[in-house]
Every structure is written in structure tokens, then in C-alpha cells.
Amino acid sequence: MDHKGRRAGGAKKEFFEALKTLEGQLGDKPFFGGDNFGYLDLSLIPFYYTYETFGKSSIEAECPKFKAWVKRCLQRETIAKALPDEKKVLEHASGMRKNLVLE
């Protein structure tokens, strides 16, 4: 495996460790704020498509509680209607990633 491949593997591992940390904070609650959808939920959910794309792996397999949280969020009509375009969020996040020299 070349240097770039090792770096990508390490980044993927760190990515899933971060999601698992979020899962730990979520625990068995439906939302990060407990029974109520709150600011943290609102801050994280627009980036879900980006997480799936950058993770290059099944979030459901790696972080099932996080994926279940996503499904609960997307079942909320107000959230589903208000989410920004996934492709635009991915484009923005990709630009940020390049600026941080992560690629």
C-alpha cells in the first residue's frame, strides 16, 4: 500500500471513530437532546450525505445507532423539507477538505 493509501485508511478510521464518539453521546436517546430534536441534531443532519460519501463505507454497518438517528431525523417533515441540496453541501465540504489539505 502506498503512502496515500495508508493516509486514506487512517482518515477513514478517524472518521468512523468520530462517528462512534457521536453515537456514544447519542446513547439510546432518539435525538442528541434526548426526546427533543435540538440544535446539535440540526447542525449535523445536513452533512449526512457528505458523511456517507467521505466515509466510503456503510455508516449503517459501522455505526448503526447513528444511521438510526439519521432515519429519525429524516422522518421529520420539517427537516426533510428544509435540508439543503445534498450535492451543494458535498461540494462545500469537499472545498473545505481541500483547503485543510486533507486530500
What distance in Å separates the CA atoms of residue 101 and residue 92, rounded to the nearest whole number? 14
Could you give the angle at the alpha carbon of 99 between the alpha carbons of 98 and 100, nearest 5°? 90
The class level of CATH for 3-99 reads mainly alpha
What distance in Å separates the CA atoms of residue 33 and residue 35, rounded to the nearest whole number? 6
**Domain definitions of the chain by residue range:** 3-99
Condensed to tens digits (0 to 9), the pLDDT of residues 20-37 reads 999 999 999 999 999 999
Quick one: residue 34, left, alpha or beta (phi over 0 = left, psi -120 to 50 = alpha)?
Answer: left
Give yes or no for residue 17 having a pLDDT over 60.
yes
pLDDT bucket at 55, cuts 50 / 70 / 90: low
Q: Would the pTM count as exceeding 0.75?
A: no
Quick one: residue 56, left, alpha or beta (phi over 0 = left, psi -120 to 50 = alpha)?
Answer: left
